[in-house]
């Protein structure tokens, strides 16, 4: 949505009034600044709405193209799958023939112009019960158990109190002892319009 030319002139004139050194010095100035913020926020919200509408429209088009892509690729993927299966069977047959012929070094690949079908040895899939394994390791191989102590900061913080000692903000525990190794740096209040 375009800004009317008259309003654009007003906005430019207002922008010229607002210089780097401009300050809010009274309630009237604060209300004027608040109005500028409100107008700008309304524009930001309007832009967000328009952008989301456009994104939704484009997403529908993207979904249509993705669906077309999957459908268009299907016959080619089926062809790849079919011929890859045939190459796999052929390679298995050649490996079996090498084994039956008593070859010491078995070739498990084919060198073709566009690909190199092969069988590669895979490591076995490992499934473990960590709880049971940990129990067994504690009894037999404790050197393979990790011990990582961690601070439960959220729980610990609940029992602490902030106080000022020698002009510094610190945490103290329930016994009144200053907690070492924890530094508190005061920060200024955060300004918010909402």
Lowest mean pLDDT among 76-85, 92-101, 162-171: 162-171
Contact 173, 167 (CB under 8 A): no
Q: How many angstroms separate the CA atoms of 73 and 85, rounded?
A: 18
Q: What was the pLDDT predicted at 88?
A: 94
Mean pLDDT confidence for 163-171: 90
pLDDT computed for residue 192 by the predictor: 73
Q: With 80 as the cut, is the pLDDT of residue 163 above it? A: yes
Cα–Cα dist 39/11, whole Å: 10
Written as six digits, the tokens of 73 are 């690729």
Encode pLDDT of 35-47 as tens digits.
999 999 999 999 9
Tell me the pLDDT band of 13, cut-offs 50, 70 and 90: low
Distance between CA 87 and CA 186 in Å, rounded? Answer: 70
* CA 147 centroid distance within chain: 29
Q: Read off the pLDDT band of 113 (50, 70, 90).
A: very high
Residues in the chain: 194
Q: What is the 3-state secondary structure (H, E, C) of 94-125?
A: HHHHHHHCCCCCCCCECCCCCCCCECCCCCCC
Helix (H, G, I), strand (E, B) or coil at 54: helix
| Higher-scoring residue by pLDDT: 139, 5 | 139
Q: Residue holding tokens 């040895």?
A: 121
CA dist list (Å): 183 to 3, 171, 176: 52, 8, 17
- Residue 18 pLDDT > 60, yes or no? no
Has residue 14 got a pLDDT over 80?
no
- Confidence band, pLDDT 50/70/90 cuts, at residue 116: very high
d(Cα 77, Cα 85) in Å, to the nearest integer?
A: 12
Of 90 and 18, the structure prediction assigns the larger pLDDT to 90
**Can you read off the two tokens belonging to residue 151?**
């601070």
- Kindly indicate the confidence band of residue 71, based on its pLDDT and cuts at 50, 70 and 90: very high
Residue 96 binned pLDDT confidence (cut-offs 50, 70, 90): very high
Say if residues 180 and 186 touch (Cβ distance below 8 Å): no
Average pLDDT in the chain: 88
How do 161-165 and 168-172 pair as beta strands?
antiparallel
pLDDT at 115 > cutoff 90: yes
**Under DSSP, is residue 172 helix (H, G, I), strand (E, B) or coil?**
strand
User: Rounded distance, CA 88 to CA 77, Å?
Assistant: 16
């Amino acid at each position: 949505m375009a800004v009317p030319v008259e309003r654009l002139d007003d906005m430019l004139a207002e922008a010229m009034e607002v210089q780097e050194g401009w300050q809010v010095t009274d309630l009237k100035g604060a209300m004027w600044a608040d109005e500028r913020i409100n107008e700008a926020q309304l524009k930001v919200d309007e832009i967000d709405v328009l952008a989301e509408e456009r994104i939704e429209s484009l997403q529908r088009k993207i979904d249509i193209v993705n669906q077309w892509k999957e459908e268009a690729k299907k016959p080619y993927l089926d062809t790849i799958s079919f011929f890859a299966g045939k190459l796999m069977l052929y390679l298995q047959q050649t490996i079996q023939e090498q084994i039956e012929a008593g070859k010491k070094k078995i070739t498990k690949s084919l060198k073709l112009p566009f690909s190199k079908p092969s069988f590669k040895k895979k490591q076995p899939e490992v499934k473990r019960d960590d709880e049971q394994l940990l129990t067994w390791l504690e009894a037999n191989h404790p050197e393979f158990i990790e011990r990582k102590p961690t601070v439960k900061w959220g729980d610990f913080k609940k029992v602490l109190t902030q106080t000022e000692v020698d002009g510094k903000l610190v945490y103290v525990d329930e016994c009144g002892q200053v907690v070492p190794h924890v530094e508190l740096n005061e920060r200024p209040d955060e300004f918010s319009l909402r």
